[in-house]
Amino acid sequence: MEDQYDACFDAAVEIARKAGEMIREAFHKPKCITAKGCATDLVTETDEAVEKMIIGHLRERFPDHNFIGEESTAAGARCVFDERPTWMIDPVDGTTNFVHRFPYVAVSIGFLAKKEFVFGVIYNAPQDIMYTGRTGKGAFRNGEAISASGVQQLNQSLVLLEIGSSREAEHLDEKVRNYHNLAKHPVRSIRSLGSAALNMCAVASGEGEAYCETGMHCWDVAAGTVILREAGGYVCDPDGTELDVMSRRCLATCSENVAKEMISVAKYNAPLARDDAA
Ligand code: IPD
């Protein structure tokens, strides 16, 4: 059945592929790298060029939509999240991977309307893998339906965690303590793909059971939230309450039970500035 956002979804897939070509073209070349807020938060000329291309193209087609992009926000644009159809765009999710040629680098495009998740498109450019999910219509990897593993116990789970870019003692201590507690639980093992979007796709594809992070941004997790939920997974705040996409906190699992166990073992309380803080 057609829905009012079909044209937006088709445009997102088309533009993600085009962005992917730009990423592949630059992947093995020397890069111009600069640090944003801190020494571990990197940006390259490709991040900026890809975001400009994506937002320029989409804004032309959908002029009254709202656009939130990682690099536009870094350049000073306000991150306003309201009822309008809203695009949350990370042009290069996994910028550090991109810099080091570690092939987990994705274009991530999430779309919400009236603050509800509508669709997500995540394109792993180096590996040419397209993940899509649309609310009520399933989740797909290169056109084939995917589903989360459905594992019910944390001690049978492969867990994806990220150190992130903030190295402030409070955040670092909390992450290391949670890593320790999960390893001791014990979970089967712990991995980091270096891309929030691809961590969520891994859980959606049954390649891991849980991903948890604080400090990432709305553009890192918006698309993955739709894809994982449509794959039968579960997404919430790391304290078990409803996901607030602006809060910079996310727990994404293959089942509600694994989420419950994660919440009892890993605790995240360090304060964070919200994405929509004025
Ligand atoms: C980052 C990646 C990384 C996560 C960071 C994100 P970026 O996004 O998703 O895995 O740990 O929190 O900011 O900066 O590469 O687009």
Pocket of ligand 1 (CB under 6 A): 70, 90, 93-95, 162, 164-165, 194-196, 213, 215-216, 220
Which of the listed residues 220, 221, 272 should we mutate to test ligand 1's pocket, taking the one with most ligand atoms within 8 A of CB? Answer: 220
| Average pLDDT over every residue of 123-129 | 98
Average pLDDT along the chain: 97
* 99 CB-contact burial (10 Å; exposed 0-12 / middle 13-18 / buried 19+): middle
Angle between helices 218-230 and 196-204 (to 10 degrees): 10
Judge whether residue 123 has pLDDT over 70. Answer: yes
What local confidence, expressed as pLDDT, does residue 37 receive?
84
- CATH 3.40.190.80 spans which residues of the chain? 154-265
What local confidence, expressed as pLDDT, does residue 3 receive?
83
Query: What distance in angstroms lies between residue 3's CA and the mean position of ligand 1's atoms?
Result: 32
Q: What angle do CA 221, 164, 203 make, to 5 degrees?
A: 45
| Average pLDDT over every residue of 139-153 | 98
Q: Which one, of 48, 16, 46, lies nearest residue 29 by Cα?
A: 46
Query: What distance in angstroms lies between residue 1's CA and the mean position of ligand 1's atoms?
Result: 35
| Average pLDDT over every residue of 102-109 | 98
Q: What pLDDT digit, counting tens, does each position of 5-22 carry?
A: 999 999 999 999 999 999
Put residue 87 in one of left, alpha, beta given phi > 0 → left and psi -120 to 50 → alpha: beta
Q: Report in angstroms the alpha-carbon separations of 151 from 14, 145, 188, 246, 259.
A: 34, 18, 12, 28, 11
Percent of the chain predicted with pLDDT > 90: 97
Query: What distance in angstroms lies between residue 41's CA and the mean position of ligand 1's atoms?
Result: 8
The model's pTM: 0.98
Among protein residues, the one with the nearest Cα to ligand 1's atom 13 is: 216
Residue 193 CA: nearest ligand 1 atom is: 10
What local confidence, expressed as pLDDT, does residue 184 receive?
98
Q: What pLDDT digit, counting tens, does each position of 20-59 carry?
A: 999 999 999 999 999 998 999 999 999 999 999 999 999 9
Q: Which one, of 171, 37, 162, lies nearest residue 93 by Cα?
A: 162
Encode 101-117: b = buried (16+ Cβ within 10 Å), e = exposed: eeebbbbbbbbbbeeeb
What local confidence, expressed as pLDDT, does residue 240 receive?
98
CB atoms within 10 A of CB 257: 15
Query: What distance in angstroms lies between residue 220's CA and the mean position of ligand 1's atoms?
Result: 7
Angle between helices 6-27 and 45-61 (to 10 degrees): 160
State the alpha helices, DSSP H only, in 66-159.
Answer: 70-74, 95-100
Q: What pLDDT digit, counting tens, does each position of 157-189 carry?
A: 999 999 999 989 999 999 999 999 999 999 999
Residue 117 CA to residue 125 CA, distance in Å, equals: 23
- If one looks up domain 154-265 in CATH, what number appears? 3.40.190.80
- CATH 3.30.540.10 spans which residues of the chain? 6-145
Q: What pLDDT digit, counting tens, does each position of 231-272 carry?
A: 999 999 999 999 999 999 999 999 999 999 999 999 999 999
DSSP annotation string for 177-212: HHHHHHHHTT-SEEE--S-HHHHHHHHHTTS-SEEE
CATH of 6-145, picked from 2.40.30.10, 3.40.50.1370, 1.10.275.10, 3.30.540.10, is 3.30.540.10
Judge whether residue 276 has pLDDT over 80. Answer: yes
Among protein residues, the one with the nearest Cα to ligand 1's atom 15 is: 94
Q: Which one, of 112, 76, 70, 75, lies nearest residue 91 by Cα?
A: 70
Q: Could you tell me which residues come within 8 angstroms of residue 234 by beta carbon, excluding any fewer than 6 positions away?
A: 228, 252, 253, 254, 255, 256, 258, 259
Judge whether residue 2 has pLDDT over 70. Answer: no
Q: Which one, of 131, 108, 100, 97, lies nearest residue 202 by Cα?
A: 131
Residue 109 CA to residue 65 CA, distance in Å, equals: 14
